[in-house]
Amino acid sequence: MRITSKGQVTIPVEIREKLGLLPNTEIEFEVIGDAVYLRKAKGHFTSAQNLVERMRGKATVKMTTDEIMALTRQDE
């Protein structure tokens, strides 16, 4: 495997599949001695995941899911 003139390398498909590295996956590099380690970045979420994380624990209404669903399904 070679580094391109732009400093890029191709991660072999076997490694991408084993680690679940899809396009646009955030990764981290760590240098230890003369070795470089690559891993999925921790704490990086998609925009949908960020929205859910920001909303988690913010509800103030003490209703069950069934009660909320009943409200959304009421006929007018």
Residue 3 lies in a domain: no
What is the mean predicted confidence (pLDDT) over 6-30?
90
Give tens-digit pLDDT for 19-44. 888 888 888 899 999 999 998 887 65
Residue 7 lies in a domain: no
Q: Are 22 and 13 in contact (CB under 8 A)?
A: no
Residue 6 lies in a domain: no
Q: Classify residue 7 by its DSSP letter.
A: S
Domain that holds residue 60: 13-72
- The domain total for the chain is 1
Residue 8 lies in a domain: no
Residue 1 lies in a domain: no
- Does the global pTM surpass 0.85? no
